[in-house]
Amino acid sequence: MLEVLKEHNLPYEELLLVASERSAGKQMDFDGKTYTIIGMEDAIREQPDVAIFSAGGSTSLEWAPKFAEAGITVIDNSSAWRMDPSKKLVVPEINANELTAEDKIIANPNCSTIQMVLTLAPLHRAYGIKRLVISTYQSFTGTGMKAVKQYNLEKKGFKPEKEEMAYHYPIFENVIPQCDVFLENDYTKEEMKLVNETRKILGDQSIRITATAVRVPVDGGHSESVNVEFEKPFEVAEVKKLLSETPGIAVLDDLNNFKYPMPLLSKNKDEVFVGRIRRDESVENGLNLWIVADNLRKGAATNAVQIAEYLLAHKLIGSSMLAG
């Protein structure tokens, strides 16, 4: 998030770096300055204009309301508030125009949802989506530092201790058909995020959606195979043109030269890459898409910073102080 803040040159007069009381007092260098990390209570007393949270659901449930009560706008990167009907779930290119100064807790969607809905939103407006069949190929980086450490140990030939493993099985040279915990319907939490968040962001509860989320040994970048069934007929050329004109999307679909989206190409980039755009010949008005993005950028940090940029540009928050 700090890297994206710097790259996007988000205007602010003062930056606060905030963590738990355990980390308060530690120092961190950023953009040529040394910052002393402060605790949550101190951050609230400083009255920042906006606070970008990325500290997990339980932390957000406890602290986001306290910041909001103090008049601070919270952009939250956890799953805590996403399905709360009173909170906006925002991908700026799609629905930031729904935000008002009264929205004090704003939810950042799930990483795999963001890249998909950014692609689907213009197509839904044009043709009306009836049904989605989604298969994801998600980087282990989406699980967090424990998964990164597990992968690196296995890559070096070491067998991690049980307490060092983020997954039930090795991730190096393996594919694990489980992202997050299993729910009562035998889908994982990640799969149901794709279902529920997509409907909320697109504002259409009638879309039929099914998903399979898979963890793959890729160091950064989520890939998705998305099969779409539309209400209306379409031309593939029209779809490509529509996507190429959509902010935040890069169409990479030159099969003659073997050019298509891959995690290697999306790493450290903010764009969502779309390719392998082709008609599904097995069903009327069907389309196949291959969607790839850096899950730590547009899937998390970039989207959060873009929300802050929108709030600033439309004077929904001030720019005197930012807490992260």
Which residues are known to be catalytic?
A: 111, 222
Q: How far is CA 189 from CA 82, 98, 297, in A?
A: 13, 27, 21
Enumerate the β-bridge partners of residue 215.
Answer: 138, 176
**Distance between CA atoms of 262 and 223, rounded to whole angstroms?**
7
CA within 13 Å, CB half, 223: 18
Beta carbons of 233 and 285 less than 8 angstroms apart:
yes
**Distance between CA atoms of 258 and 243, rounded to whole angstroms?**
20
The phi, psi pair for 158, rounded to 5°, reads -90, 150
- Please state, as a whole number, how many other Cβ atoms lie within 10 Å of the Cβ of residue 205: 8
**Distance between CA atoms of 211 and 124, rounded to whole angstroms?**
18
Number of residues that this document lists for the chain: 324
**Distance between CA atoms of 76 and 82, rounded to whole angstroms?**
9
- Please state, as a whole number, how many other Cβ atoms lie within 10 Å of the Cβ of residue 280: 15
Per 3-state DSSP, the chain is made up of helix, strand and coil in percentages (nearest 5) of: 35, 25, 40
Residue ranges with strand state E in the chain: 14-16, 27-30, 33-36, 50-53, 73-76, 88-89, 105-107, 129-139, 208-216, 222-230, 249-251, 272-280, 286-293, 321-323
Q: Reduced to 3 states, what is the DSSP secondary structure of residue 310?
A: helix
Helix orientation angle between 236-244 and 111-127, rounded to the nearest 10 degrees:
120
**Distance between CA atoms of 130 and 232, rounded to whole angstroms?**
9
